[in-house]
Structure 1
């Protein structure tokens, strides 16, 4: 028996949230005529996200499409194992997960299928569509470095290789190597630098660590603010959300740090990952799933998707949520996102051999 909570139906659930969520659509567009949810069938979503704003997103899609949304939320690994256990009887139509490496795990397990062609393809860069069409990117997330400007100069951390410099001995905070964000970052390093250089980097960073890897990205930023380390690896949106926290101490922690987005030192851009979606291998409602993807890749859908998360829209025309004015326009590297997953096993091996817990 699955330990996951059952599918939730969205109809009427988010009305109160809509009333108290300013700019929830992000684009100020004219509302579409409402259609009774269920009139045009059902869509079953397995989502590794956990935000209240997703309920607003589902509700808006229900009203516009007449498609009833049923959703199940859990961690990506738990959803993966559940779908394996369900086999051909899995009710999932669409999978939503954060990180291309996480989406690759579903693909590698045979739990996805190729996306049909759709209008959404003309709205986003080709890099955001898997070359085998097993997933599509819906929002951007940038892995960067938070640093203490009183201890660290920005040119000390503007390339990923800098974190291995002996001058940063005792200054680096990071989370566990098993974390998917770090595995994908290492996957790109393997692709760009080769495994030997990537391993040397990991070994040097371990030498430079101020403490054993622990906690999440927010914990790393707070450690910098507390003076436990001078630099910390983190995704951009954790820092942005801290700047808008209802807790003064959390805002102060963000205010005590600055954020930079290192490159790979070869004229490349930054490590930019995604939140994305994949069509489930045994989906029964593929047309409805495609319609939902089309909705998410509109100005309204993008606004709902990133408003609370503080991720970056993949469409230039979409409204950027409050707080992202603190994040400059970042040029992503041209590394195919698929390699984040393809190099995952090797990335973990390198971390293990380097002693990165």
Structure 2
């Protein structure tokens, strides 16, 4: 089935998409629910089909994957899911919507800290949660750590998106894992006190705010820098990117928080073997190169080079805490964001 057919069916409504997918089930197919956009996934899925002969029926979802899988239950046609951030993967695990997959290839391609200890999900790409700092208004050393952003010298100089967004919840969860809940709460309070404006927008909007002088530093994911630097549809974003330095925090300590995009086999998968084959393919060298070139993410598989733009930011020390451990603190992190009224 053509990817566009499935996507069009979803626009008409959930039932249409499900019918199209369910009626096409066969041993030579695999059914995918994806938060990852078609522009990125189609080249990868076409390459997989060409290599294996297995056709991929992809439904692109902007939101609501967990709720959809819950509602569909055992009748869900989905064999596997693709999503971004450990938070989304953890929520699917907590809802008992994924099943274990065992694969020597995945164990070889995906480092242990980027996969679930029981094989419920596997990372496929990584991204660092970094600091974007204005090239002229931020002095060297002023914003070298996440902790610096909560210090008095940053009063009124920080921008960020919602504290309840999965990216920031995962960052706070990593701080809980490293320093404990009390220290994490103190950091969240300090960061809120230093905000130049109410949390709003996406990661790119924070860099725009730095460019426009609303703030001096912002939190964001690395791949957004690459997207801004090469944006031909909105060339002004190149100016935003040119105004900031990329800072990998905590290089003298635990390292920079790194998150993932990842995949998991659904609990009711009817084509489990094909689903595992697709995850294996996406973790392999050819697919990893496509990921790196298409979205400025870091390859999960050792030995695959990142995009030259990404490589140009230099090597960095990453926090090596297992993401499965960080995910265990997400509930605490969300509670802290509520307690300090971060978004208010």
Same fold at TM > 0.5: yes
Aligned equivalent of 1:342? 328
- SS of equivalent to 2:128: strand
Size of the aligned set, in residue pairs, is: 328
Q: Report the equivalent of 2:311.
A: 325
Listed as ranges, the matches of 1:48-87 within 5 Å are 48-75=35-62, 77-87=63-73
Secondary structure in 2 matching 1:127? helix
Q: Is this contact kept in 2: 1:172–1:208, CA < 8 A?
A: yes
Deviation of residue 324 (structure 1)? 1.3
Q: What is the aligned counterpart of 1:6 among 13, 17, 20?
A: 17
Aligned ranges 1:302-313 → 2 under 5 Å: 302-313=288-299
In the alignment, which residue of structure 1 is the partner of 2:170?
Answer: 184
Q: 8 Å contact 2:85–2:167 — kept in the other structure? A: yes
Q: Provide the rounded CA distance (Å) in 1 between the counterparts of 2:83 and 2:26.
A: 28
2:18 touches 2:77 (CA, 8 Å); kept in 1? no
Q: For each residue in 1:76-116, what CA deviation from the matched residue of structure 2 results, as whole angstroms up to 9, or x when unmatched?
A: x5011000000111111111110111100101000001112
- 1:336 is displaced (CA, Å) by 1.4
Judge conservation of contact 1:39–1:67 (CA < 8 Å) in 2: no
SS at match of 1:157: coil
Q: Give the alignment of 1:40-119 within 5 angstroms.
A: 41-75=28-62, 77-119=63-105
For 1:249-288, list aligned pairs within 5 A. Answer: 249-263=236-250, 267-288=253-274
163-172 vs 109-118, greater mean Cα deviation: 109-118
Please give the per-residue CA displacement for 1:268-297, whole angstroms capped at 9, x wherever unaligned: 121001011111111111111111112112
- Where does the alignment leave 5 or more consecutive residues of structure 2 unmatched? 1-9
Correspondence 1:133 to 2:119: yes
C-alpha separation in 1, matches of 2:113 and 2:330: 19
For residues 163 and 278 of structure 1, the distance between their equivalents in structure 2, rounded to whole angstroms, comes to 35
Contact 1:101 1:180 in 2 (8 A): yes
RMSD: 2.1
Call closer, same or farther: CA 1:348–1:201 in 2, change over 3 Å: same
Moved segments of 4+, more than 4 Å:
2-5, 7-10
2:5 alignment counterpart: none
Picking from 181, 184, 190, the partner of 1:198 is 184
Stretch of structure 1 that moved more, 305-314 or 208-217: 305-314
**Per-residue deviation at 1:74?**
1.0
Question: Is the 8 Å Cα contact of residues 154 and 260 (structure 1) preserved in structure 2?
Answer: no
Partner-residue secondary structure (3-state), 1:274:
strand
Aligned-partner Cα distance in 1 for 2:122–2:139: 37
Distance 1:8 1:323 in 2: 42
Residue 124 (str. 1) matches residue 135 (str. 2): no
Deviations 1:120-176 (A, max 9, x none): 211232212211221111101100010112111231111111001100000000000
Matched, 1:292 2:278: yes
For the structure 1 residues 39 and 79, does the alpha-carbon distance in structure 2 shift closer, same or farther, using more than 3 Å as the test?
closer
Q: For 2:135, which of 149, 156, 169 is the aligned residue?
A: 149
Give SS of 1:334's match: coil
* CA distance in 1: counterparts of 2:42 and 2:18, whole angstroms: 13
Q: Provide the secondary structure at the position in 1 that maps to 2:59.
A: strand
Separation (CA, whole Å) in 2 of partners of 1:52 and 1:9: 21
How far is the alpha carbon of 1:72 from its aligned partner? 0.9
- The alpha carbon displacement at 1:8 in A equals 11
Question: Any idea what the Cα deviations from partners look like across 1:290-337, whole Å, max 9, x if unmatched?
Answer: 111121122111122332211110123224234213322222212110
